[in-house]
Amino acid sequence: MNKTDKKIEDILQLPESECIYALNELIEEYNFDCPEAIKELKEILKTYNYGNIGLAQINPILGNIQYNAQKIVKRIKYAENLGLDMVVFPELTLTGYPIDDIIDRHPVVVEENIKWIKEIAKITGKTRALVGFIEKVKSNTGRRYYNAAAVLGEGKIESIVRKTLLPNYSEFYDARYFEPSPIVGAQPPETLCNFQKPVDYPKLNIINGKKYGITICEDCWNNNEFFIPNLYHSDPVKTLADEFPDVIINCSASPTRTKKEQLKHNMLSYISRMHKTPFVYVNQVGAIDNNSFDGSSRVYNARGELLARAKSFEEQFLIVNPIKGLGKIYPLANGLEKTLQEPKIFTLDYEPDLERTYKTIIQGIRDYFAKTGFKRAVLGLSGGLDSSVSAVLVADALSPQNVFGVSMPSKITSNESKNDAQTLAANLGIHFAVAPIKAMYETVNNSLQELFTTIETKWDVRYKHSFTPDNIQARSRAMLLWGISNEFGQCLPIATSDKSELYMGYATVNGDMSGGFAPIADVTKTKLFALARWLNKNRETKNVIPESIILKRPGAELAIDPKTGKPLIAEDALMPYEFMDEVIWRIENKHESYKEMFETEFLYEREHNISLEQKTEWLDKFYRRMSTALYKWSILPPSVIVDARSINKNDYRQPITSSKINYKGQTTDEIEKIITEWM
């Protein structure tokens, strides 16, 4: 008896439900090529008669239709071999999501995906496959495409469902290139690329005697009792629920964010309970540029209870039966279960969200590099928190042998920082080099001083105190990192700016902001401290980040503070990070104004006695610096969206020239006085 046969024999001794999932995991381990295990699993599933569904949670490559189709076909054949009623794939799984303006600039992508959906249909049998694709719009008005899903079976396309609600907020831009469907539910196959007006056709799909209502992503995010106010005028799920389906299915591509699991779980549980109908949700996994998708596909029963949940941040084929109660609940990232009922308040207790944050960023780095053809990363190691956490994340995502850390000390760099950088590299097992920038700095500075002298004869606006020396250092370091990237194959520099300092513009364009990817750009400084401690405690190799780095007050070591004669500390130049990060949180999550923040107590104020004058000074500084930092956000490299809200340009767009907004607001009396002065 070989090892595989022994594994199967052992699995068959388990209780039926455990046996199903153990066999399925074994088959996945063998890339769906384990005939004996498939045979045994099929026999067990036969006893359910109807309702068996495969949730095909896959990681697509955007626009690589052949690659995605191969994953789809493999899972369709597996579902067919098991005799499942249906296999369900995520939203737009044939092209990947979000496809953005590719389909407008390169319509050949749409043409190709239509060819592929037709050909994939031909290999289907009794098992139905629900596959997301992009469909052309026949009408001469409106946008040119539908976000659609086809039900494939018996060698043909049996019906088509089109997305009704199109999100156009945060990272979503569906309404830019997709047309909303004028009807909820299924339409006949002859409407493919020829859908001009709704046809009288059953909204539900009948599969093995059971009725299924099919929706696409946003279509389930508008329950008029759960969401107040609503974004849309219709509720597609209710429309289908009124037809009394046995199961409602949602094909989704929903990125992970802080608090997203809380919202998603409560919403889907509420919907299934409200309509007394099992709800199946299949989500994309993997990262596409700024968006990291957690998968975590799941099923809720008719009472709103969680019946099944797929793994987070991994591809998986999960077998469920929402009608007969078959399912397995795989765990979320550690800590997320604690957040499901948390109130929406600012807190410095980041612990419940740290593993999810870690996995989100790791997936973002790994997929960005793999899907763009890069393999190696180089980054500057300053001995500070930002670069240290970035180094750990990149090493974990790409493996230590593919990471080079470079210490680039200047005359200001402390011996402690040099030693911390070297210790970190040794602890991580990444490559390490030292490249002093003193000579480069002096050469560039001397050349600039000569140039400035010439310019000063024509312009009389030279600063008495400038940041030129600071920026020369930061840009010298960036030049070395880009030089390494240009000289060695498949290598990309890492930008190490964090979210707090980006908000304040406390980062150098073409300096520490420079790189091909920015892993921590959506992580605030206070959360970064918590993440550093979490990494030291939870990685297989403990305490890789020296404690001295975590205890050190952050500073760029680019300039000397005239008050202390030591390198300038960031908080002395800005404000305490605890205060700053709460301002950021209040703006992003509660949309509070300057006045509202001034009049309410901060968490920082409960623990520190600060005057109203001090609070005013910090708020003024925050808004002033944020206004002048807008252009920096626009040139930030691709970065993983982590928080509930972000300044990532894929999530938040603000014209750079809007920097003169009056964030404080004005009273009616003040406005009246101004107008009077104009008269």
- The residues assigned a catalytic role are 91, 163, 217
Cα-to-chain-centroid distance, residue 142:
30
Q: Tell me how crowded residue 355 is: count the other CB atoms within 10 A of its CB.
A: 19
Pairing of β 298-300 and β 279-283? antiparallel
Eight-state DSSP code of residue 150:
E
Give 528's strand partners.
Answer: none
Q: Where are the alpha helices (DSSP H) in 436-524?
A: 438-456, 468-487, 499-503
What angle, rounded to 10 degrees, do the helices at 351-372 and 525-538 form? 90
Q: What Rg do the C-alpha atoms of the chain give, in angstroms? A: 28
Is 272 in contact with 302 (CB distance < 8 Å)?
Answer: yes
Within 13 Å of residue 114, how many CA atoms lie on the same side as its CB? 18
Choose among 303, 576, 671: nearest CA to 584: 576
CB within 8 Å of 220: residues ≥ 6 apart: 236, 237, 248, 250, 252, 267, 268, 271, 279, 281
| 363: enclosing H helix or E strand | helix 351-372
CB within 8 Å of 435: residues ≥ 6 apart: 406, 407, 408, 480
Pairing of β 376-380 and β 316-320? unpaired
Amino acid at 559: A
CB within 8 Å of 349: residues ≥ 6 apart: none
Q: Report CA-CA distances (Å) from 383 to 329, 338, 356, 391, 520.
A: 42, 34, 26, 11, 16
What's phi and psi for 281, nearest 5 deg? -125, 120
Pairing of β 156-162 and β 186-187? antiparallel
Is 518 in contact with 533 (CB distance < 8 Å)?
Answer: no
Q: Where are the alpha helices (DSSP H) in 373-524?
A: 385-398, 415-428, 438-456, 468-487, 499-503
What's phi and psi for 317, nearest 5 deg? -110, 110
Eight-state DSSP code of residue 66:
H
CB within 8 Å of 114: residues ≥ 6 apart: 133, 134, 135, 136, 192, 193
Eight-state DSSP code of residue 616:
H
Report the Cα–Cα distance between both ends of the chain, in Å, rounded: 97
Amino acid at 488: F
